[in-house]
């Protein structure tokens, strides 16, 4: 849910920045970008740690299979080997309520979605400068 909330916040930040630039009232573009950076950083850390955790969890099965138990406990050895085989054949994936995997590849989708919406907003933004110029002529 955090990812979807952040997506809306990114969109609002970009729209507000675009509106300020368009209206020529932007005090500092750097300031507006710095406001959005903590959310971008939070999203990156969340997705990267999720991806790293999934990668490590998928590598655990190989390490677990190499564990050698003493000969006096064959049941434990069989259970560990069965568990390692189960981990090897069933990949661990973090998802957002089963809708999409939470990993670094979702950044591409988020970037595409924000770009698409910004294109819509830019095209549908009223031409304030043209309206102001018409008012001045009257």
Q: What is the pLDDT of residues 8-48, one digit of tens each?
A: 777 777 777 777 776 666 566 677 677 777 877 887 888 88
What is the chain's length? 138
**Domain limits at 37?**
2-137
Structure confidence at residue 133 as a pLDDT band (50, 70, 90): low
Structure confidence at residue 128 as a pLDDT band (50, 70, 90): low
Pair of tokens at residue 91: 């990949």
Q: Are 33 and 14 in contact (CB under 8 A)?
A: no
Q: How many domains does the chain have?
A: 1
Pair of tokens at residue 82: 């069965």
pLDDT of 99: 82
Q: What is the pLDDT of residues 70-109, one digit of tens each?
A: 566 778 778 888 888 888 888 888 887 888 888 888 878 8
Pair of tokens at residue 93: 């994936």
Higher pLDDT, 115 or 126: 115
What single-letter DSSP state applies at residue 101? B
Pair of tokens at residue 32: 């507006």
Kind plus residue range of the DSSP H or E element containing 20: helix 2-22
Pair of tokens at residue 23: 């209206």
């Amino acid at each position: 849910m955090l990812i979807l909330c952040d997506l809306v916040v990114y969109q609002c930040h970009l729209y507000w920045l675009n509106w300020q630039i368009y209206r020529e009232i932007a005090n500092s573009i750097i300031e507006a970008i710095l406001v959005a950076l903590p959310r971008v950083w939070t999203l990156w850390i969340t997705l990267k740690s999720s991806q790293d955790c999934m990668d490590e969890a998928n590598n655990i099965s190989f390490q677990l299979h190499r564990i050698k138990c003493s000969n006096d406990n064959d049941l434990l050895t069989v259970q560990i080997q069965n568990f390692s085989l189960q981990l090897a054949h069933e990949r661990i994936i973090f998802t957002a309520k089963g809708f999409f995997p939470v990993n670094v590849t979702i950044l591409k989708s988020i970037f595409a979605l924000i770009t698409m919406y910004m294109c819509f907003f830019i095209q549908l933004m009223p031409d304030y400068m043209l309206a102001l110029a018409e008012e001045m002529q009257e």
